[in-house]
């Protein structure tokens, strides 16, 4: 009833808005659908003109041959392992440093915190050359530890944990525990950590996405195929099979799927977390 009461101009405007939203949504999903459809096509079908959206003779052969021609299982395991290590390390270092910045006082504190936050704006790409030389000097190039090292702490994680501990955990709690004879470590593990679940999940999601999508650094540091993550593995794979799009799309689907599944499960949480900060593209 209310809508009918609106003037014609407003109704046209609303209709137009819906049309734009729908068109935009199609534009958003089309590349993914095209990727998915192509991955099920036998190779000759990718050279059809006019192109057909759906595979005419759907096949899983592309998926099996992807695993045969490149160690995708290995790439996947590498991505997963390195992302989990990075996430765990970011969570721990953020909890420790964030708590200290929030609840303790020591000389140089403000300066140090400011430095950690301010340097986050400096693009990683602009200091990757000296970092490479540093790791080269200690023999960490072409090693797992060399690849994960830059993702082991996150300025934003420290920032977020500091904000959380400062605002959501009353200092009285800590004082009460101290009067009962608790050590600072006990307070950290038994009082602060359990009260920081929401901050942990936000930091964890961001750290995981950042590590999973890492590209330029693994590309530089990993020379052995056995150390490649999904992103680098797929890139090298595409240079080898640059014309075989049905296989390439199968590989692309495999490396997109984990992120999509995680996204579907944690949709709201991820959108909130990402809205809090920038993830690097």
Q: Determine if 212 is a binding residue for other proteins (CB under 8 A).
A: yes
Residues 92-121 that bind other proteins (CB under 8 A): 92-94, 96-97, 99-100, 104, 106, 112, 115-116, 119, 121
Do 212 and 85 touch, CB atoms closer than 8 A?
Answer: no
For the chain, the DSSP string reads: -HHHHS-HHHHHHHHHHHHHHHHHHHHHHHHHHHHHHHHTS-GGGGG-SS--SS-SS--SHHHHHHHHHS-HHHHHHHHHHHHHHHHHHHHHHHHHHHHHHHH---TTHHHHHHHHHHGGGS-GGGSHHHHHHHHHHTT-TTSHHHHHGGGS--HHHHHHHHHHHHHHS-HHHHHHHHHTT--HHHHIIIIIGGGGHHHHHHHHHHHHHHHHT--HHHHHH--SGGG--HHHHHHHHHHHTTT-HHHHHHHHHHHHHHHHHHHHHSHHHHHHHHHHSPPP-
Among 67, 132, 144, 173, binds other proteins (CB under 8 A): 132
Q: Determine if 5 is a binding residue for other proteins (CB under 8 A).
A: no
What mask of x and - would describe binding to other proteins in positions 35 to 74, judged by CB under 8 A? x--x-------xxxxxx-----------------------
Up-side HSE of residue 170: CA atoms within 13 Å toward CB?
Answer: 5
Shortest separation between residue 24's beta carbon and other proteins, angstroms:
6
Number of chain positions touching other proteins (CB under 8 A): 92
**What tokens were used for 206?**
């961001």
Shortest separation between residue 38's beta carbon and other proteins, angstroms:
7
**What tokens were used for 234?**
């797929």
Residues 73-92 that bind other proteins (CB under 8 A): 92
Shortest separation between residue 73's beta carbon and other proteins, angstroms:
16
What mask of x and - would describe binding to other proteins in positions 153 to 182, judged by CB under 8 A? x----x------------------------
Among 12, 54, 176, 279, binds other proteins (CB under 8 A): 279
Q: Determine if 126 is a binding residue for other proteins (CB under 8 A).
A: yes
**What tokens were used for 193?**
């950590």
What mask of x and - would describe binding to other proteins in positions 225 to 264, judged by CB under 8 A? -----xx--xx--xxx-x--x--xx-xxx-xx--xx--x-
Q: Determine if 186 is a binding residue for other proteins (CB under 8 A).
A: no
Shortest separation between residue 25's beta carbon and other proteins, angstroms:
5
Shortest separation between residue 211's beta carbon and other proteins, angstroms:
11
Shortest separation between residue 207's beta carbon and other proteins, angstroms:
13
**Integer Cα distance of 93 and 106 in angstroms:** 18
Among 7, 123, 139, 194, binds other proteins (CB under 8 A): 123
Q: Determine if 281 is a binding residue for other proteins (CB under 8 A).
A: yes
């Amino acid at each position: 009833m209310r809508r009918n009461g609106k003037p014609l101009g407003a109704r046209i405007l609303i209709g137009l808005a819906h049309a734009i939203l729908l068109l935009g949504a199609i534009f958003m999903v089309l590349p993914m659908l095209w990727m998915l459809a192509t991955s099920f096509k036998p190779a000759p079908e990718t050279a059809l003109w006019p192109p057909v959206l759906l595979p005419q003779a759907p096949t899983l052969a592309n998926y099996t041959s992807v695993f045969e021609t490149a160690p995708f299982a290995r790439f996947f395991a590498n991505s997963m392992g390195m992302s989990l290590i990075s996430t765990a390390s970011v969570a721990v270092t953020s909890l420790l440093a964030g708590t200290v910045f929030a609840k303790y006082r020591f000389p140089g504190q403000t300066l140090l915190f400011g430095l950690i936050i301010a340097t986050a704006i400096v693009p990683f790409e602009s200091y990757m050359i000296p970092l490479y030389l540093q790791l080269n000097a200690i023999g960490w190039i072409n090693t797992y530890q060399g690849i994960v090292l830059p993702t082991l702490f996150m300025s934003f994680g420290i920032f977020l944990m500091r904000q959380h501990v400062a605002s959501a955990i009353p200092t009285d709690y800590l004082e009460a525990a101290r009067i009962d004879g608790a050590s600072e470590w006990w307070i950290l593990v038994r009082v602060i950590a359990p009260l920081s679940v929401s901050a942990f999940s936000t930091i964890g999601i961001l750290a995981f996405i950042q590590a999973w999508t890492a590209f330029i650094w693994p590309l530089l540091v990993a020379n052995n195929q056995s150390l490649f993550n999904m992103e680098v593995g797929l890139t090298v794979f595409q240079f080898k099979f640059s014309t075989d799009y049905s296989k390439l799309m199968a590989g692309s689907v495999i490396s997109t799927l984990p992120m999509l599944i995680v996204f579907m499960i944690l949709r709201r949480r991820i959108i909130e977390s990402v809205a809090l900060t920038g993830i690097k593209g």
